């Protein structure tokens, strides 16, 4: 499994997002999976990667939080959960996405 954390330079949510991804990996039994951090430096690169803002998590090249009406952007990203908005992906949804990816990879 490949997990990437895409960020813009000096993203204030990079560390909390990295911690959330690591925690989610641990909680679903995938603690050996390495997380690669990639700094997105241009709009062209954002478009190539489908980067929807910083931080973004890609699992096997796919953004599990992508909304159909969002466009690639060199911007901060907000995540919606049941009752809140945060600059970090919700841990519950991260765990679900990682489990799904693990099942797909295993098949």
Q: What is the pLDDT of residues 93-102, one digit of tens each?
A: 999 999 999 9
In angstroms, the CA 91 to CA 79 distance is: 11
> How do residues 4-56 score in pLDDT, each as one tens digit?
999 999 999 999 999 999 999 999 999 999 999 999 999 999 999 999 999 99
Model-wide pTM > 0.95: no
Element housing 105 (H / E): helix 91-106
Longest dimension (CA), the chain: 38
- pLDDT surpassing 70 at residue 107: no
């Amino acid at each position: 499994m490949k997990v990437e954390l895409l960020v813009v330079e000096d993203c204030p949510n990079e560390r909390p997002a990295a911690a959330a991804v690591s925690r989610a990996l641990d909680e679903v039994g995938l603690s050996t999976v390495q997380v690669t951090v990639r700094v997105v430096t241009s709009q062209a690169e954002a478009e190539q990667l489908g980067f929807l803002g910083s931080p973004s998590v890609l699992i096997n090249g796919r953004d599990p939080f992508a909304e159909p009406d969002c466009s690639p952007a060199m911007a901060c990203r907000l995540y919606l959960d049941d009752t809140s908005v945060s600059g970090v992906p919700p841990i519950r949804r991260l765990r679900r996405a990682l489990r799904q990816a693990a099942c797909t990879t295993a098949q």
